[in-house]
Chain A
Amino acid sequence: MTGGTKRDYDGNARAKSAQDLPRGRFHAMFEDFRDELDEHYDRRERIIKASRDVTAQSKKIIFTLQRVKQPNKDFPKGIQQDIDTRLGEISKLLSGITADLQSINRYRYGFSMRCLEELVEALSFSHYLRHQTLITLEETQAAVPADIVLTSHDYMYGLFDLFGEMMRFATVTTAQTGELVGDYERNILGDIQELGCAFEMLPQVPTKDFRSKMEVMRQSINKVEKLGYGLVVRGSERPKGWVPDMKDDDHRPVSPV
């Protein structure tokens, strides 16, 4: 096999010139395989690229949402705008790969489409802040700005990540307001506990992924529980109106944990 055939690297348009020199018996067969595999690899590449960008946009939506101060109100204009633009961006990215994810290919590239979990996280967090309820799979599907089927796996693993966001939100707002936020005679501590119970009741999936998500979930709940404890024990010591640095979650400005 000296030389090899010329082909254009990222295109399906391979130069099928008059074939040259010694062709093995299986040449034609392997050429077919090559075309099939190239199609698959190219598709996967497109999906991975888009997925990475969707993940980035979703994360930014989440950062923006963490700047919301009061739940159950319309989001401030700037925040709403920011979310809308990013969702528009996500819509564009996803519609670029919709065709690649139809029929049999939806699950084929499931692993490369982990961005959907991130998107579910953003959508569910936004929904929680706005309505203080848990978004359903159907509502999430409706909110996905593309014609891509959400699997229950995407939904469930996205919700796992909601715990972390609720925990961060609870930490910041508790520090700001001196109480656990929430309406309808519920607060975020009760909510995260209730949600946690619902997950604990699910049949356990024997994968490492599931177990570690459960563990992280429990830690998040635990942190919010300590917030509640802190408020009762020494809540009044905190200077009223003190606003923590919200740039990142690494600072834990609330009562010592």
Chain B
Amino acid sequence: MSLTHQDVARIAKLARISVNDEEIAAVGEKLNNIFGLIEKMQAVNTDGIEPMAHPQDVSLRLREDVVTQTNQREAFQAVAPQVEKGLFLVPKVIE
């Protein structure tokens, strides 16, 4: 497998990280080296093996549907890049 510059651009788009034209060749080369390492997995027969998502076989806990947290909007918004009247501001998304 070898990623083309278009592949790298597509992945970067998916990941929402801008990669400019000068960087793309170097990024692509390093990614291809990493995938060279990863591809070694494909030679292993894993038929019938149950995928392991978590080290312990535990199920998710349920909790009572009650209020447990007090409102800390001001504390949390104190570290936000841009807020107004208790709202997080982002660039206009609806024209």
A and B from one assembly?
A: no
Give B residues with C-beta under 8 Å from A: none
Give A residues with C-beta under 8 Å from B: none
